[in-house]
Structure 1
Amino acid sequence: MCLAVPGLIVSVSGDDSIIRVGRVDFGGVVKEINLAYTPEAQRGDYVLVHVGFALAVIDEVEAQRTLAYLREIAALDVAHADAAP
């Protein structure tokens, strides 16, 4: 199973569509992500990212919903660890 995580493009650099990259914010962690598969992606867009590549541009509502689910999962993991004997 693969997991793609939503992130917000904060800047874009490069003119060549193959090596164009975006700095993408994943809730405070910013990484450089290849935008070759999403040539339409621009600063301010949310993208789904897997292994360093943006695979799709998604709308903000969908991105925020997915990020909320990921925060819930993280909270459950912390609660489970705190409850362990």
Structure 2
Amino acid sequence: MCLAIPGKITTIESKYDGLVQVAKVSFGGIIKEASLEMVPHAKVDDYVLVHVGVAISVVDEAEARQTFKYLEQMGEVAEELNIHGFLPDQKEYS
């Protein structure tokens, strides 16, 4: 099953001569890259839902925390982030 995982944008950079905006997104301390093509208005410190490497929507912090908590309870966080055996630091979402 593919789910969108909430994370916090830590940095944004332009790639390919400025044609593509890519963010570093923190998922409870685990950093992954995500394309911002679907949410060009997203900025550093925003929370976004990321699906297969693409940020698909900006969400508020409360929604991000709650969604992350639900996914963790369902056991989906480790699978979606490909980190079996290591769950993210919960400080960002508690």
Q: How many residues align?
A: 73
Q: Which runs of 5 or more structure 1 residues have no equivalent in the other structure? A: 75-85
After superposition, residues 3-82 of structure 1 pair within 5 angstroms as 3-14=3-14, 16=18, 18-74=19-75
TM-score (norm 2): 0.71
Post-superposition offset of 1:31: 0.7
Q: Deviations over 1:4-49 (max 9, x none)?
A: 1101000111173x51000000112101110010011000000000
Post-superposition offset of 1:73: 2.4
Give the residue type in structure 1 aligned to 2:44. R
Mapped partners of 1:73, 1:28: distance in 2: 20
- What percent identity do the matched residue pairs reach? 47
Q: Which runs of 5 or more structure 2 residues have no equivalent in the other structure? A: 76-94
The structure richer in helix per residue is 1
Post-superposition offset of 1:64: 0.5
CA RMSD of aligned residues (A): 1.5
Q: Which runs of 4+ in 1 moved over 3 A?
A: none
Give the residue type in structure 1 aligned to 2:54. F
